[in-house]
Amino acid sequence: GAVVSQHPSWVICKSGTSVKIECRSLDFQATTMFWYRQFPKQSLMLMATSNEGSKATYEQGVEKDKFLINHASLTLSTLTVTSAHPEDSSFYICSAIPTSGRASSTDTQYFGPGTRLTVL
C-alpha cells in the first residue's frame, strides 16, 4: 500500500517551453502533497506544499509563477515548470500523505519515483 506514481519519469525539453509533471497517489487519498527538488548527491529541497482545493504554499526563494502547482483532486497534484531554462534541470520528487487510514500513516510522506528534467 501507499504507492505514489510520477509521470513522466524523465523529460527533455527545449529552453523556453513548459513541462508538466504529474504526481498520483494510487491506493490512497491525499489532501496534502509535497514537491521537492534534488541535486546530485544532495538532500531533498522542499519547493512547495500542495493542498487539495487550495493554493499551494511555496518555500522561500521558490518562484511560484515559474513552478505552478495544481492539486485538483485527492489523488493528483501537478507541477508545471513554465518557460524552462537549463538551470531548471534537476530531479523532481513528489510525496503524499494519506488523508485517512492507520494513524501512523497520516503523518508519513510516501514518495514517487521522481522525474528527471533536462532543459536544453
Binding stretches for other proteins (CB under 8 A): 32, 34, 38, 41-44, 46, 49, 91, 93, 95, 97, 104, 107-111, 113-114
Q: Tell the smallest beta-carbon distance from residue 17 to other proteins (Å).
A: 24
Cβ proximity to other proteins: between 69 and 97 the closer is 97
Q: Which residues contact 53 (CB under 8 A, 6 or more apart)?
A: 71
Omega prior to 8 cis, within 30 of 0 = yes
Q: Which residue lies nearer to other proteins by CB, 3 or 12?
A: 3
17/46 with CB nearer other proteins = 46
Taking the least distance from each CB to other proteins, the nearer of 16 and 113 is: 113
Task: Identify whether the C-beta of residue 26 lies closer than 8 Å to the C-beta of residue 98.
Answer: no
CB of 47 to other proteins, least distance (A): 11
**On the CB side of 44, how many CA atoms lie within 13 Å of its CA?**
13
The owner of cell 517551453 is 17
